[in-house]
Structure 1
């Protein structure tokens, strides 16, 4: 027997065997069917049009195969509709009259089915649940029955409801209906065991789930659905946060790529100029050395020529002296001596030196090259400062954050320390111990501003996160949310990187430029007068708003009474 027939058989067994009050007679069923005459050609077991219809002695009609299998399963030979019992299994024969009427009905129904398919009202689509009863073209199911474990199209659903008197539980069409039945008791899963966190049937509450806590499926569904909706919202927020972060990273990559191309272009220009300058210096150095060598060789050749002439003269004089030495005539020797210049007047070659020193030549060339390098570096520093200055913003001091020992100008551009505590309103945003004040607006992108520090012996400058501690003693470091540099004792500059870094500057700072690139995690400080880079915090991971931070420090007996002034 097909699964549909088994389900229908089970259905009828529940209706007519287990619940006698629901038994139906042919007359009652005909009355329930109303004007739908085609219901008369449907087998009450398989709920489909008769196949080989037979009639029992009590007058009811069934498919031959359906009634035969029904009796095979139930042993007792009873009519499924009226429960009339037969001593022996009746000898069933095909009812030719009904068969002919069924054939006409089948043809009529096929015509209606084709029209229905043409109209597209009931035909199934990919992914839709199909009717389990349809034997030919499977139509889209409208409902599934948890009692029969079958899904029904519009036509078969009407028959099912009339036969069951709508007592079966119908749900929206689903597949795998068996999964909705209790494996132990073959009953619908209607409750949720909160103790074991599983779905159970009514019988389970009296057996292996006894004394557990239960809730109706619908109630647990609403609770779990609410939890899932909350989880879904959290997941959605996590997705959005990561999408925003990913987009920021993509934007950072694009900006970094643009900056990299600019840096490469600038570097190529700079190094090309330096290489050309070095090559020129090397060529000039080689030419100078070769020229000096040539001068030395020319001078040496002159000395050699002159000495060769003197040697020739000396050789001649020596020959004359040798000749006189060989004579044995005293008179001739003595008479010849006055006319013989035995030691001709010659140059004193002891004081003549030929040497070449290249000392200072290479050093001079390198010094010139260093000067060229310094000039190019100066141009590079000027270009870098000019580039960050395009992000200049109008920064002012926030009086709500200022220490009670600070005096702010009316325009919010100047701050200086006071030995007298100011009468200011209590504010949790205010620095209470150190002489600090934050600036505004907040920093979430690229920002540049400058501060005049001329005449001061101590100060702190930088940026701070929104959540920094503002009460009590504060240690300035990135770990505590501060990225700053300071001046102490008039000439000691340090970057407070935790630990601090001593800064070696060429000259006293009068004007400090600060540049923040929030996305890249960079905080840089410049000598705005010389355009030199003082120090950079790099690789910072900013997760909240930043604010400019200023501290003019204590007056120190009047030596540090000058103010800090924002000039951009």
Structure 2
């Protein structure tokens, strides 16, 4: 009952123009009240002759100047502003009317008074039942998507947890092994660098010590000779002075002897060692060594396990294949080995980046690299010409112990090979194939990853394979596992 009374009171103090509680209420001569701003705007738009306006409710005319403040209505509005007439969820908090409509533009449930207000004028309005049915379908779609997203997030979280567990497991999995291998490799490389630097330091110090000893011995010998020469000169001086002080006969007796001795006695100038001409020690290029090592570490991230392909290599020439697929050695049972024989490895490569290493420690005659497999085990009069890029081979090799070559076009006396100068003979050779970039690079792992040679713009036409030829070597040559 009290609520209905309050509703009636609220209707009495609601502005007929804006349908809101009146602000600064004023009354006309006919007794109707309005917001001051609302009735002012209405008068400006409907003013007639001599300042006469019409009441928006009863259409009775009035003078704008006759408007008077309605303090009683203002007091009621002030009291109602602090009250909640309808706490129920299905009633409008502002107007107290039932919420039967839905504004699609604002996404709000409204009452019929809200619909007529300026706030929702011109908006897309529908009944709440119709809007509920429409949005129920949309919400079902949203719910379905969210549930799918939740499952995906749970799977991703599980994958991350599994990934974290696998990394934490350390030595029990390949990822842990890879990190551990990289840690050990870094430690080993820097240990080798320190050993190399210590050895270089000791070598230079020993060289300087020996040089100092040689110089001091030479100077001591020169000092000894000068002492002897000084003694002879002093003896001759004494002899001449004695003759000059003696009698005439004494002066003339064997007078030519001191004169001849004086002529033959010439001071011998000792060998000296000027400091300004000494050679300054050139320190090793540590920055370059570290850059080479970093490049090697980067390509080693693309390590692949290479084995020989038994189906292709089972009965090739003068070689025997070990069971593990990793070792090659010459076999004296056959004498038909021709210099173009070789082995293809697996995997077959058609894309991506791949790196492997070959141990050539005990071999002094070998070819290795990448091949498309053309002309394999075919006898040619000129075997060198077959190892060219235009024949599907990108290889380097060693012949006659220290003669290193790249089988590529050159401007030397041999246009089919390019001589390579290696300061450190390789014991392990790394091969890096970047199929997408069309490059094949060879690294001297023994010399901190020094780049031996790089083929660019390789015209790969399909599958390419790791290639190795032990030639006439009688020792096994293994493809290496990742290790330090």
Given the two structures, how large is their TM-score scaled by the length of structure 2?
0.46
Which structure has more relative contact order (CA 8 Å, sep 6+)? It is: 2
Greater C-alpha Rg: 1
Given the two structures, how large is their TM-score scaled by the length of structure 1?
0.41
